């Protein structure tokens, strides 16, 4: 028996809403549900392994309850092996330790959640990417990635609270042993004090966020090389 999920996935929802509808409190509501789900899974020694917007789905038509789907955890694999490189359709959400040695741990899910949170704010992944970026380039950027509160700059981030930026940076610590757990993050004061239960917007978006879940240009190049 499986759950019947009535709503759309987070990727499609974000692609059909406006940036104005995604304020800090609404995003906090989404992130809180994702972290609560991860906290429960991790307490049972279950790792998701492929956390990205299209694998987060609204369980209800009203858009109040989020569920995680498509668990794809593997203990170890070599990302440099071409036959393994398409394990993740969205390489931009992959954690540094996975890229470096193929080890996927609970804290790797936390990194993916941090990248997903950045995307909800900006509509972009927090790496310097362009149409010439290859998968190898992206993996090198991930290996060298280091985020602090000061990393989040620009017109959009200027409107985001320092507490929120600190919260995101704690998910994106390059050292997985120093990365906060899902349980610790779900009890963060900023998160608890900021949450608003979001509703799915029914009107057509005038300024939707771009859909960058699979990084299409990079993924197409990767698939063409296989």
What are 41-57's pLDDT values in tens digits?
999 999 998 899 989 98
5 found inside a domain: no
In a domain, 150, yes or no: yes
SS3 content of the chain, % helix, strand, coil (to 5): 45, 5, 50
* Cα(207)–Cα(224) distance, integer angstroms: 32
Domains held by the chain: number: 1
**In-domain check, residue 174:** yes
Task: Report pLDDT for 34.
Answer: 94
Does 204 fall in a domain? no
Encode pLDDT of 132-182 as tens digits.
888 889 999 999 998 999 999 999 999 999 999 999 999 999 999 999 999
Predicted confidence band at 58 (pLDDT cuts at 50, 70, 90)? Answer: confident
Domain that holds residue 89: 10-195+212-225
What CATH number does residue 191 fall under? 1.10.510.10
Q: Residue 107: inside a domain, yes or no?
A: yes
d(CA 213, CA 52): 7
Is the pLDDT higher at 72 or at 125?
125
Q: What angle do CA 77, 78, 83 make, to 5 degrees?
A: 95
pLDDT score recorded for residue 159 = 92
Inside any domain, residue 173: yes
Is 29 part of any domain?
yes
Q: 67-103 as b/e, with b when 16 or more CB fall inside 10 Å?
A: bbeeeeeeeeeebeeeeebebbbbbbbbbbbbbeebe
């Amino acid at each position: 028996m499986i759950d019947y999920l009535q709503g759309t996935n987070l990727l499609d929802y974000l692609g059909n809403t406006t940036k104005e509808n995604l304020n800090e409190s609404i995003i906090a509501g989404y992130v809180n549900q994702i972290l609560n789900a991860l906290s429960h899974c991790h307490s049972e020694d279950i790792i998701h392994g492929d956390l990205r917007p299209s694998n987060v789905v609204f369980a209800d038509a009203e858009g109040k309850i989020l569920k995680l789907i498509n668990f794809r955890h593997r203990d170890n694999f070599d990302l440099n092996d071409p036959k393994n490189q398409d394990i993740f359709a969205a390489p931009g959400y992959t954690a540094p330790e996975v890229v470096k040695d193929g080890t996927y741990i609970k804290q790797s899910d936390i990194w993916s959640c941090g990248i997903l949170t950045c995307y909800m704010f900006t509509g972009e992944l927090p790496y310097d990417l362009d149409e010439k970026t290859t998968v190898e380039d992206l993996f090198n950027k991930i290996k060298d990635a280091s985020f602090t509160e000061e990393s989040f700059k620009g017109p959009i981030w200027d409107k985001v609270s320092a507490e929120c930026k600190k919260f995101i940076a704690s998910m994106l610590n390059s050292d997985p042993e120093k990365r906060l757990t899902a349980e610790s993050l779900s009890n963060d004061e900023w998160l608890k004090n900021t949450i608003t239960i979001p509703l799915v917007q029914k009107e057509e978006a005038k300024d939707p966020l771009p859909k960058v879940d699979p990084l299409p240009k990079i993924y197409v190049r990767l698939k063409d090389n296989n």
